[in-house]
Amino acid sequence: MQSADQLASKQLVLLGIGHTNAHIVRQWRMNPISDVQLTCLSDHTVATYSGMLPAVLAGQLSEQDMQIDLVRLCASAGARLITEQVTGIDPEAKRIEFATRPPISFDVLSVGVGSVPSVQGVEIDSTAPLLKIKPMQSFLQRLNEHVSRLQQIATDSTVRIVIAGSGVAGTEVAFCLPGWLKRNSIEQFDIRIVTGSQRVLNGVTSSLRRRVERALTDRAVTISLNERINHVEPEHVQSLSGAVYEADLVIWATGASPPPLLSQLGLPTDDRGFLLTDETLQSTAAGGVFAVGDSGTVNGTCLPKAGVYAVRQGPALWENIQRSIDCRALKPWVPQSSFMKLLNTGADSAIGEWKGLSFEGSWVLRLKDHIDRRFMRMYQTEGMAQSGHVMQCRGCGCKIAGDILDDALSELTSKPETPPLDDAALIETGAGTVVASTDFFSAPLNDLYLTGRIAALHSASDIVASGANVSAALANVVAPEGDPRAQGEGIRDLLAGAQLEFEAMGGRIAGGHTIVGARWEIGFAVIGTPVGRAVVEKGNLKPGDHLVLTKPLGVGVLLAAHMRSQCAAGHFETMIESMLHRQHRCAGVAAELGITAGTDVTGFGLIGHLNEMLEASGVSAALNLSQIPLLPGAAETFQAGIESTLAPANRRLESLADVGEGIRRQPAWQALFDPQTCGGLLLGIADDRLEEARAAFETA
């Protein structure tokens, strides 16, 4: 197998990480295919196991219990995760197109984007309180957005809820939604299932149906059969027969229909719009392209769109992916002839069916819970196995330690004629003053387009901190050895991402160089022009100034956690959002307010860069740890014993601080030494301009 940073010659792409494709990531984590790069494309950073949603609604499980953390799963598998919107594929060129980033190539592609509830022939008022059950990743968030409105209704009347659809999804929601309502202090409610079917739960035995209908009646759920909804209005729904049902909330859980994306892929579909495959799960018209789960229909079959089939397709898909990469004959997938059906009734009980025999009771719920939890455990990541070797952090965590750098530069700066060295250099030219700086790092993420964006903002940080506007940049890119196609696409992605950010800052990439090296590295020499007359410098702090930090701390420790597959999806998202927050307008704000003392907080952490300001200004400072902002998840990660590999070197300044031992154990104290990639600005602001400055920087 090639080294970790050698570029693979083949690309396996999973579009959508549902039940089937998640199995591929799991297998990859245990046994990756040599000379193949795995890329996962998803609209969300978590995948939801739909079978556990009823238990979450009922209050039997937490929301986290039904989620597969794709950030951690992909990190543990060494896979690239991209969460940009896909707009189509080119089957001939084998490329996937995106709305906002360059395309990516694939040799083998598996499409598993699921299905959505059908709204064909339904007129929906834009102000109607309609809640579609999919995408399930956001269902609870969207449901919670209705809480305050429903609570207000419940103060003096009954909340009326209509569930469209009488399949397993709609029926289980009807059973379990009361638990959610009661937890939100909504005690008076009426739940009605409205369906165009002649009965609830088509395709099950009459024995199971009778048990379900009896349980629904016991829970006062009304069932309206043969009433297909064709209008959804702000306060009611209407069926084809003209029947009107008042509704304060409409939950749409009708039969499966294809997501709009499937019609944009240029691949053959069945009469409903799902991708058509042969018995090997491969597209009938495109070699190396598979369609799985609800997204695909095996030609000549009429299987229902059920998650159990998606789960069982996983091993067959894994086998055929390997065969496709090796150019071997594919094997057919044989669907199971029957499967167990288990429905959560939301009252410490469940109803089930197996081979024509129906049953119910608390033991059935325990069985369902056992099966669901066993499935989810396969996709949980407790982090990569720890070894005696500490992985070198990337991003700003791969910087040389400050004391080593000081020693290396001391001889250069010891000569009287040598001007002081700084992060950004002021250069006087015939046309005026130019501010120049350079910065680079090893790529901290597998997504090189995202890495390029981060690298541009990080490299421009010293220019912005000097109170200057970005004019131009020269790129330096190191590409690993390996496949030439992968090298070219990687360089393109890095520079395309960087160009997006430089253009947003008013600059451009004017040139650069590339070489081959051990791993992906990127940096820029950046040129800028001062905004105001006075340049912002480290040595301009004055006694009485307030210190203002424009971004929270914690990037370094969260990136370190991500390398260990221990950074949760939500924490990863907020970290990326913070790094991508542009600060170039801060230069103009500083000029307007007359701010002349400042720096950026990057590799040496807040304490290191603050110390540079204090030494240059001849002052000292007092910090209130309770006022130090931290990124979500940073405190917990520090407490778990994780830190950036640069943090110990940054703590060389710890002896300069006058603090007690108890304070040194606090996460906020540890954050002072955390290296920041795309960190905030640290500014000294006079007391009479503080509030004005805070307001200005919040909107900059």
pLDDT per residue as tens digits for the range 602-614: 999 999 999 999 9
Beta bridge partner(s), residue 47? 68
**Residue 397's pLDDT band (boundaries 50, 70, 90)?**
low
pTM: 0.92
Residue 151 above 50 pLDDT? Answer: yes
Domain residue spans of the chain? 10-114+260-328+341-377, 123-257, 423-535, 537-700
Tens of pLDDT, residue by residue over 447-473, are 999 999 999 999 999 999 998 999 999
Choice among 87-96, 395-404, 479-488 with the minimum mean pLDDT: 395-404
Task: Give the model's pLDDT for residue 203.
Answer: 84
Q: What is the dihedral of CA 97, 98, 103, 107, to 10 degrees?
A: -60
CA nearest 238: which of 116, 121, 147?
121
Report d(CA 382, CA 176) in Å as an integer: 31
Q: To the nearest whole number, what is the mean pLDDT of the chain? A: 92
| Contact (CB, 8 A) for 20 and 317 | yes
**Residue 2's pLDDT band (boundaries 50, 70, 90)?**
very low
Q: What are phi and psi of 208, to 5 degrees?
A: -65, -40
Looking up tokens 């008013």, which residue turns up?
506
User: What integer is the mean pLDDT of 308-324?
Assistant: 95
**Superfamily for domain range 537-700:** PurM-like C-terminal domain (3.90.650.10)
User: What integer is the mean pLDDT of 258-274?
Assistant: 95
Tens of pLDDT, residue by residue over 629-684, are 999 999 999 999 999 988 999 998 888 888 877 788 899 999 999 999 999 999 99
Interacting residues of 282 by C-beta distance below 8 A, sequence separation 6+:
288, 289, 290, 320, 324, 330
End-to-end Cα, the chain, rounded Å: 48
Question: Highest mean pLDDT range out of 237-241, 440-444, 593-597?
Answer: 237-241
Residue 389 above 50 pLDDT? Answer: no
Residue 5 above 90 pLDDT? Answer: no
Catalytic residue chosen out of the listed positions 176, 393, 396, 398: 396
Residue 338 above 90 pLDDT? Answer: no
**Superfamily for domain range 123-257:** FAD/NAD(P)-binding domain (3.50.50.60)
**Residue 395's pLDDT band (boundaries 50, 70, 90)?**
low
Task: Give the model's pLDDT for residue 425.
Answer: 80
Structure token digits, residue 579: 């790094």
Given 3.40.50.2300, 3.30.110.70, 3.50.50.60, 2.60.20.30, which CATH number is that of 10-114+260-328+341-377? 3.50.50.60
Interacting residues of 96 by C-beta distance below 8 A, sequence separation 6+:
13, 15, 41, 86, 88, 89, 90, 103, 104, 105, 106, 109
- The number of CA neighbours under 13 Å toward the Cβ of 681 is 33
Task: Give the model's pLDDT for residue 674.
Answer: 96
Is residue 586 flagged as an active site residue? no
**Residue 62's pLDDT band (boundaries 50, 70, 90)?**
very high
| Contact (CB, 8 A) for 625 and 662 | no
User: What integer is the mean pLDDT of 35-39?
Assistant: 97
Report d(CA 93, CA 37) in Å as an integer: 18
User: What integer is the mean pLDDT of 71-82?
Assistant: 96
Number of other CB atoms surrounding residue 510 within 10 Å: 13
Task: Give the model's pLDDT for residue 383.
Answer: 46
Structure token digits, residue 208: 């199971």
Beta strands 236-239 and 681-685: pairing type?
Answer: unpaired
User: What integer is the mean pLDDT of 91-120?
Assistant: 96
Full DSSP string of 406-421:
HHHHHHHHTSTTSPPP
CA nearest 465: which of 457, 473, 453?
457
Report d(CA 15, CA 98) in Å as an integer: 12
Helix axis angle, 168-183 relative to 206-218, nearest 10°?
Answer: 20
Looking up tokens 């003209």, which residue turns up?
242
Residue 51 above 70 pLDDT? Answer: yes
Evaluate whether 10-114+260-328+341-377 and 537-700 have a shared fold.
no
Q: pLDDT > 90: what percent of the chain? A: 82
Q: How far is CA 185 from CA 148, 151, 159, 179, 218, in A?
A: 10, 7, 12, 10, 22
**Residue 384's pLDDT band (boundaries 50, 70, 90)?**
very low
Interacting residues of 328 by C-beta distance below 8 A, sequence separation 6+:
none
Task: Give the model's pLDDT for residue 388.
Answer: 41
Task: Give the model's pLDDT for residue 422.
Answer: 63
**Residue 302's pLDDT band (boundaries 50, 70, 90)?**
confident
**Residue 686's pLDDT band (boundaries 50, 70, 90)?**
very high
**Residue 427's pLDDT band (boundaries 50, 70, 90)?**
confident
Architecture of domain 423-535: 2-Layer Sandwich (3.30)
Looking up tokens 């629904």, which residue turns up?
216
Q: pLDDT > 70: what percent of the chain? A: 94
SS3 421: coil
Which of the pair, 596 or 658, is modelled with greater confidence?
596
Helix axis angle, 569-579 relative to 448-459, nearest 10°?
Answer: 40
Task: Give the model's pLDDT for residue 587.
Answer: 83
Residue 139 above 80 pLDDT? Answer: yes
Tens of pLDDT, residue by residue over 613-643, are 999 999 999 999 999 999 999 999 999 999 9
| Contact (CB, 8 A) for 322 and 288 | no
